[in-house]
Amino acid sequence: MGLPTTIAIDGPAASGKSTLGALLAEALGYLYFDTGVMYRAVTLAALQNGVDIFDEAAIGELAEKVRIDVAPPSADDGRDYDVLLDGQDVTWEIRSDAVNDHVSDISVYARVRNAMTDQQRRIALENKVVMVGRDIGTVVMPDADLKIYLDASVEVRAQRRYQEMLDRGEQADFEAVLGSLKNRDHIDSNREIAPLKPAEDAIVIQADCLGIQQVLEKAKELVYRV
């Protein structure tokens, strides 16, 4: 039996799943695909086109019209992949403060999630992929060859995010970071559409006491034993 060609990595915010996904994809020579970029791309499209972020019907219609592609990086500027919105490279534009402020609002809309799920599946069919998100193993790729759920306590995740912000020279308050993550966990776990939870056949990696290299080694062991 060969290596898994579709690998799903889910987990709560700041669990380290994006870092794990990027490192694992690099080690395997697969496409790294953080599905959160698709919701960011829809948010950017809405902002560029003057669509009201809180008009769910209009945002849903927009999400069904745009084409979003994720491809291997075309530039050596720190990116892990290219993000294309209707053919335009928006890899860095989707990281703007304006997108950060509204992506959570847009990502809960049912039509948006359905449209993005269709596009995520299209990309998965075209590539050997490590796909990262919150509903990959449960909704987007329920038949993925390998499903990993990367978890850690909210306190550990908050400490990691707090330290990352300090390392970037940003102002940071631990209690504010902790409160933000607790709120995000509540939203992700209690939404009606695709709530955050491990797939029944996912293998859970509890990362509270593990560094990223240790998590990567555990993931590699799972890849090579599938």
Examine the domain organization and report whether 17 and 104 are in the same domain.
no
The residue from 100, 127, 154 where one domain ends is: 127
Examine the domain organization and report whether 110 and 203 are in the same domain.
no
Examine the domain organization and report whether 44 and 94 are in the same domain.
yes
Examine the domain organization and report whether 111 and 164 are in the same domain.
no
pLDDT the model gives residue 193: 82
Q: Give 10-residue mean pLDDT values along the chain (226 residues).
A: 92 94 96 94 98 98 97 92 97 92 91 96 94 95 97 96 91 94 89 89 97 97 88
The residue from 99, 127, 155 where one domain ends is: 127
Cα separation, 160 vs 174, in Å, equals 10
- At position 164, the amino acid (one-letter code) is E
The CATH number of the domain holding residue 180 is: 3.40.50.300
Domain containing 194 equals 1-30+128-226
Element (H, E) at 123: helix 110-126
Contacts of 85 (CB under 8 A, 6+ apart): 41, 44, 45, 66, 67, 68
Examine the domain organization and report whether 72 and 133 are in the same domain.
no
The residue from 103, 127, 151 where one domain ends is: 127
Answer yes or no: pTM beyond 0.75: yes
pLDDT the model gives residue 1: 59
Number of domains in the chain: 2
Cα separation, 64 vs 32, in Å, equals 23
Examine the domain organization and report whether 110 and 185 are in the same domain.
no
Cα separation, 128 vs 192, in Å, equals 30
Place of tokens 């075209």: 126
